[in-house]
Amino acid sequence: MVLALRWPWQFAAGAILIGIVATTATSVSISTFSFAPLHPSDLITPTAILLLVLVLGSLVRQWLLSREQVQLQEQRAEHEAGLRRAMEERSRIARELHDVVAHGLSIISIQASTVRYRVEGVPEPVVVELEQISESAREALAEMRSLLQVLRAEDTETELAPQPSVARLPELIAASRRGGQEVNLEISGDLDTDLSEVTSLGAYRIVQEALSNVLRHAPGQPIEVRVTVGERAVRVEISNPLAGADRGRTEPRRDGLGLLGMAERAKMAGGWVEAGRIGDDFRVVAELPRHGRATRS
d(CA 295, CA 3): 62
d(CA 58, CA 5): 6
Per the prediction, the chain carries an average pLDDT of 75
Which sequence spans correspond to the domains of the chain?
2-80, 164-297
* CA distance readout (Å), 87 to 77, 146, 147, 160: 15, 17, 15, 14
Per-residue pLDDT of 196-241, as tens digits, reads: 888 998 999 899 889 988 887 888 899 999 999 998 999 999 999 9
d(CA 65, CA 5): 10
3-state secondary structure of 273: strand
Q: What is the pLDDT of residue 253?
A: 54
Name which CATH class applies to 164-297: alpha beta
Q: What is the pLDDT of residue 35?
A: 44
Q: What is the pLDDT of residue 178?
A: 81
Per-residue pLDDT of 33-62, as tens digits, reads: 444 454 555 556 666 666 676 677 777 777
* CA distance readout (Å), 173 to 77, 117, 182, 183, 259: 45, 21, 9, 7, 20
Q: Which is higher by pLDDT, 254 or 78?
A: 78
Q: Model-level pTM?
A: 0.52
Q: What is the pLDDT of residue 177?
A: 87
Which of 6-20, 107-121, 136-150, 261-275 shows the lowest per-residue confidence on average (mean pLDDT)? 6-20
The residues, any chain, with a CB within 8 Å of residue 162's CB and separated by 6 or more, are none
Maximum average pLDDT range among 5-9, 228-232, 244-248 = 228-232
